[in-house]
A and B are shown apart, each in its own frame.
Chain A
Amino acid sequence: MANSDTVFSVCGMCPEHCHIEVESRHSRPWWVHGNRTADPRGAVCLLGALGPSLARDASGPTTPLIREGARGGGLWRSAGWDEALDYACQGLRGSLAAGGPDSVAWVGWDDPFADLPRALLRGLGSSRYHAQHGRAWQAQNKASLECTGLPAADWICDYARSRRVVFQGRNVFEPLSLNEANAVLDAMASGCRITAVDVRATQTACKADVFLMIKPGSDYALNLAVLHVLLFERLFNAAFVGEHMPGVEALAQGVREYIPEWAQEETGIAAQDIRTLARELAQAAPAVIWQPRMTANCGADAYAVARSAYLINGLLGAFGAPGGLVRANGPEDVGRRQLRRLASLYPLPKAPRRGLKKSLPLHDDPGHGADPLAGVKAVLAHRHVPALGRAAAEASKRRLDGLDCIVSITSTWSDAAWNADVVLPEAGYLSNSSILATRKGLIPQFFLQNEATLPEGGSRPLWRIVCGLAEKLGLTKLAFRGIEDIRTWQLAGTGVKLDDFKEKGFVDLAGRPAPRSPFPLPTATGELEALGERCPALPEYAAPAPGLRLFLGRLGWRDQGHCLDAASPGPFAESRIWLHEDAARDLGLAQGDLARLSVAGHAVTGTAYVSRLIHPRAVFFSMGPGGRPSNANGDGKGAQRNLADWLDGFIPGQPGAEPLVDLTKATT
């Protein structure tokens, strides 16, 4: 529009990386909206819209810093980039000399631009690239790998053609995956019916056709009963199951006892409602989706719930069906070439980690025992790294003491930055330019992040930091001098040119959606594994332990590391603790009372929100902003700060992972 420059980019406020247009005036971003040429056509969530405010807020480090005094003491001296990079490389070289290549690790997130840091590690001969995953994701991913041989991210929910969808613990309209939310709304407008299974009346529950309030921790019981009905009423898709799901007879034996009447006792959901749900799904099959992605309802049963969800989808024939779960396409699936991999500039490490096939969650790395950073002496910590933040916890303190060198690459004051030896300030996403990345989907695409403004202070885009380290370390193949040089190198042989990105900021690799059969799957049989080598028996059902169970959710304003919570207006300005009227009465809490929520010795206070619209055994609280003591952002009222030590060690799907809490009245 007039008096405004527009830059195509992707948002950096959350892992979705939605396509955006950044409107700037005098090189300062003033408004962000969605890319009008890409789904969802001009829209962007409120976090994405807050981007320019975040850029102005700029409370993170903006110059390289070298620690003075003890780690975590908060004493730094500013340094130039040359000195800071030399300092970092000195530490890395020391670790390499003393401990070998695998003593150096990069700890980051599963982000699409990871090829460059992976290349750096390969150049050093290290296999230690750790990508951290969200907690619920770990359980779901494991279930997907066991059942389908593919990671969860390789399955797309084809909402556009679906007739019946079940969201189990998934609040699709709040922690916002924009394209997904719009796809669901479009499907609903076309007649798709939605069931929401949750402990609380979420936005999703309010929009659903059917809301089933479930007893906390009993989701697996519901799923077992649905499996039972599908199998014993012979409602499953016989042709699909006969061809693609061996082991169903054993599965049927495994769920024989789990009748809906049993599930009613466990879940509080009427047996007839369970039967109706199964029958409606069968009627709409195979254009059905039992969404296996969970967010809030994470406990010891997370893996069992996710796996049974995949089995339900299998029995209904949803895999590969229009309106079901379809396989995401990469470039080669549509007859195009992949981007050249920067990691291929250097050979594979000589001694790859035992048991490591792909990057694994930080908290679950079988190759290195209980501590995923065992044997590591130097860490390049990209942004927030929980394992380097819990200074109060003994395990974390030991880990920090055992590291000779911590290099933090960050745009905010995360705990990892606070405890680092040297901080290399990364530009915020509005002033960041990235390497090219691939987005899989029905139409795969190449995309990138473009800087809409110059980096704040002395911060630098990630590519420039990594290439700077590479140059200092003698890794000349990675010592690129310009982002366009990298992008041009990546595009070689793909048939796509850099200029092709000017029109829309991304390049689609196919003209129209390309659905394909997901079979053969990369499993032992090439088919779905109802019960197989990796999972020979269904997990046992265990009734949840009595007590109040905590559910943490993401509520737009409050719930990402980048959050301007200090100025949040309206109903989200306060930290609400949702609890049922009965629970409130028993605890002596009234609407609006200050309450203290404690779990495993950690506590957070909030305002009691008493309602009938949450299960009597559930307590809901917002994850809150990343208001760590070291982070100026946020009012510090959220769970992410105050329950951090508990949260970082809580692994859904692990035995004993029961988020039981105490709730008491508070005065301060």
Chain B
Amino acid sequence: MSILLISTDPERCIHCGACEIHCSLKNGLPFGLALGCNVTVGPVFEDGRLLMRGLFLLCQQCEDSPCLKACPAGAMARGPDGIVGINQALCTGCGACALACPWRMPRLNPRTGRMMKCDLCRDRLEAGEEPACVLGCPTHALRLELPAAASSGKRLQYAQRTRTGR
């Protein structure tokens, strides 16, 4: 997987779908098309509690990438950051990457005829900025994290919650 990941804080997510909109507009996609998917479950009763759960499902940047192997044009490559990107100049839009992906993450951009996939807004990362979805999320529910930092952060959050009784 990539060095970085985007996590969803379920306590802050309000399931509004703004993440998809930011992704769509920043990447110049037609309205309604985004490179990530806002998935929401609920409201449901679970263990006597009323819950809504959601997360922004993005490309997992799989270590053993089916999409990368499937591309016949050599358009897909993994960078040193672990992010799998699509070279738009080489892509033929055949869709083999989408078919190979168990999550169907790569999408065809009908405006360009090329495939696109989430690359954690690598262009913004290289400029020292956050991915569009992370910056724009209305409630700061998305975080760009190092996996190890995410883990320790979660444990600290749990400890604090236990202390306050929430």
Q: List the A residue with the shortest CB-CB distance to B126.
A: A2
Q: 1/0 contact trace for A199-211 toward B, CB 8 Å?
A: 0010101110101
User: Is residue B12 contacting chain A, with contact meaning CB distance below 8 A?
Assistant: yes
A43→B32 contact, CB < 8 A: no
A188→B32 contact, CB < 8 A: no
Total chain B interface residues with beta-carbon distance under 8 A: 38
Contact status of A33 and B21, CB under 8 A, knowing A1-B124, A188-B11, A556-B16 = no
Minimum CB–CB distance for B138 against chain A, Å: 5
Q: 1/0 contact trace for B129-166 toward A, CB 8 Å?
A: 11010011111100000000000000000000000111
Segment at the A interface, from B22-30, B59-67, B69-77: B22-30
Q: How far is the CA of A13 from the CA of B155 in the complex (A)?
A: 39
Taking CB atoms, residues of chain A closer than 8 Å to B127 are 1-2
Taking CB atoms, residues of chain A closer than 8 Å to B11 are 185, 188-189, 207
B138→A53 contact, CB < 8 A: no
Segment at the A interface, from B37-45, B82-90, B91-99: B37-45
Contact status of A42 and B136, CB under 8 A, knowing A1-B123, A188-B166, A211-B50 = yes
A43→B138 contact, CB < 8 A: yes
User: Is residue A30 contacting chain B, with contact meaning CB distance below 8 A?
Assistant: yes
Taking CB atoms, residues of chain A closer than 8 Å to B51 are 206
CB-contacts of A146-190 with B (<8 A): 173-174, 176, 178, 181-182, 185, 188-190
Q: How far is the CA of A570 from the CA of B31 in the complex (A)?
A: 12
Taking CB atoms, residues of chain B closer than 8 Å to A30 are 25-26, 28
Q: How far is the CA of A160 from the CA of B86 in the complex (A)?
A: 44
Q: How far is the CA of A42 from the CA of B124 in the complex (A)?
A: 14
Q: How far is the CA of A570 from the CA of B16 in the complex (A)?
A: 11
Q: How far is the CA of A173 from the CA of B14 in the complex (A)?
A: 6
Interface centre among B22, B32, B139 (most CB of A within 10 A): B139
User: Is residue A422 contacting chain B, with contact meaning CB distance below 8 A?
Assistant: no
User: Is residue B1 contacting chain A, with contact meaning CB distance below 8 A?
Assistant: no
B140→A613 contact, CB < 8 A: no
Taking CB atoms, residues of chain B closer than 8 Å to A34 are 135-136
Minimum CB–CB distance for B9 against chain A, Å: 9
Q: How far is the CA of A49 from the CA of B124 in the complex (A)?
A: 18
Taking CB atoms, residues of chain A closer than 8 Å to B139 are 43, 173, 181-182, 185
Q: List the A residue with the shortest CB-CB distance to B33.
A: A569
B138→A178 contact, CB < 8 A: yes
Interface class of chain A by DSSP = mixed
User: Is residue B15 contacting chain A, with contact meaning CB distance below 8 A?
Assistant: yes
B25→A43 contact, CB < 8 A: no
Q: How far is the CA of A246 from the CA of B139 in the complex (A)?
A: 41
A43→B136 contact, CB < 8 A: yes
User: Is residue B52 contacting chain A, with contact meaning CB distance below 8 A?
Assistant: yes
CB-contacts of A27-77 with B (<8 A): 30-34, 36, 40-46, 49-50, 52-53
Q: How far is the CA of A567 from the CA of B31 in the complex (A)?
A: 7
Q: List the B residue with the shortest CB-CB distance to A23.
A: B26
Interface centre among B16, B31, B127 (most CB of A within 10 A): B16
Taking CB atoms, residues of chain A closer than 8 Å to B132 are 31, 33
User: Is residue B100 contacting chain A, with contact meaning CB distance below 8 A?
Assistant: no
Q: List the A residue with the shortest CB-CB distance to B27.
A: A31
Q: How far is the CA of A569 from the CA of B33 in the complex (A)?
A: 9
User: Is residue A288 contacting chain B, with contact meaning CB distance below 8 A?
Assistant: no
B138→A45 contact, CB < 8 A: yes
Interface centre among A30, A33, A52, A181 (most CB of B within 10 A): A33
A46→B138 contact, CB < 8 A: yes
Taking CB atoms, residues of chain B closer than 8 Å to A572 are 17
Q: How far is the CA of A612 from the CA of B52 in the complex (A)?
A: 15
Q: How far is the CA of A191 from the CA of B164 in the complex (A)?
A: 6
Q: How far is the CA of A422 from the CA of B70 in the complex (A)?
A: 61
Taking CB atoms, residues of chain B closer than 8 Å to A571 are 40
Q: How far is the CA of A45 from the CA of B132 in the complex (A)?
A: 13
User: Is residue A307 contacting chain B, with contact meaning CB distance below 8 A?
Assistant: no
Taking CB atoms, residues of chain B closer than 8 Å to A2 are 123, 127
B18→A44 contact, CB < 8 A: yes
A201→B138 contact, CB < 8 A: no
Other A-B contacts than A45-B16, A613-B45, 19 sampled, CB-CB below 8 A, are A1-B124, A31-B22, A33-B132, A33-B135, A34-B136, A42-B135, A42-B136, A43-B139, A45-B18, A46-B138, A49-B18, A176-B16, A181-B14, A181-B139, A201-B43, A209-B166, A567-B31, A569-B20, A613-B43
Q: List 12 A-B contacts (CB under 8 A).
A: A1-B124, A30-B25, A30-B26, A31-B26, A50-B21, A52-B25, A173-B139, A176-B138, A185-B140, A206-B43, A206-B52, A570-B17
